[in-house]
Amino acid sequence: MTTAAPSITDSELQREVEQELRWDPSVAPASIGVSASDHTVSLSGTVYSYSSHLAAVGAAKRVKGVRAIADDIVVDIVVESTPGHTDHEIAEFAEHAMEWSTSVPSTVRATVRDGVLTLDGEVDWDFQRRAAKLAVTHIAGIRNLIDDIVLKPVPSAHDVHDRIATALRRAADVDATNIHVTSNAGHVTLTGSASSWAERERVQHTAWSAPGVTNVSDNLVIR
């Protein structure tokens, strides 16, 4: 008879996340507070770049047992030591970074206000949207990034459900039996459960990769 593995306690989960933050060289763990309650991890504190913020959240997602994250990290730009901190400079750097990326179409635009960078425009594929966000993530002076990029609807999207379901069955790192996909006019809804944040994000990526998908509602839970 098999015995179920003991569930990790909140104090153990908190310790595991703290250790993962210390393990990641792109994170300043001393500036980030961690607490855990019922498999939900809360991150707080202050970092000095948007990329450090993303790295901290990414580190928490990698820890087994984390089912949800409350992100209360604040990005506080130290103007004196951060080149390119003005809105005008950030906007220029963002435009250049996207121009240099072969995956970002010219339809994507960047606007900046008080350090908040907003990307908008229309693209054909989700990988182009992700490429635009990746191109600007590490620009100094960004406090937050808002993604208002939209995907063009594709008329032949009637078989979106079948394409996604087939792709999930092919994926070696996804248990497709626990994933349910519905689609309506390009809007895909994911329900069911994933074993980790990595599997959940893999399912999201698979759904976005199908032609005709314009929006994905991720209702997956981490078991």
Mean pLDDT for 73-86 is 70
- In 94-218, beta strands by DSSP E: 109-113, 116-123, 144-151, 179-184, 187-194, 215-218
Backbone angles phi, psi at 74, to 5 degrees: -110, 135
Alpha-carbon gap, residue 114 to 23, rounded angstroms: 32
pLDDT band at 2 (very low <50, low <70, confident <90, very high): very low
The per-residue pLDDT for range 163-219, each reduced to its tens digit, is: 888 888 888 888 888 899 988 888 899 999 998 898 999 999 999 988 888 889 999
157-222, what's its fold?
Histidine-containing Protein; Chain: A; (3.30.1340)
Mean pLDDT for 54-64 is 93
pLDDT band at 3 (very low <50, low <70, confident <90, very high): very low
At 163 the pLDDT is: 86
- Domain map (residue ranges) of the chain: 10-75, 80-151, 157-222
Q: Does 10-75 match 157-222 in CATH topology?
A: yes
Alpha-carbon gap, residue 42 to 163, rounded angstroms: 36
**CATH code for the structural domain at 10-75:** 3.30.1340.30
80-151, what's its fold?
Histidine-containing Protein; Chain: A; (3.30.1340)
Residue 153 identity (one-letter amino acid): P
DSSP state at residue 39: T
pLDDT band at 80 (very low <50, low <70, confident <90, very high): very low
pLDDT band at 66 (very low <50, low <70, confident <90, very high): very high
Alpha-carbon gap, residue 36 to 162, rounded angstroms: 39
- Residue 5 CB partners (closer than 8 Å, separation 6+): none
The per-residue pLDDT for range 30-40, each reduced to its tens digit, is: 789 999 999 99
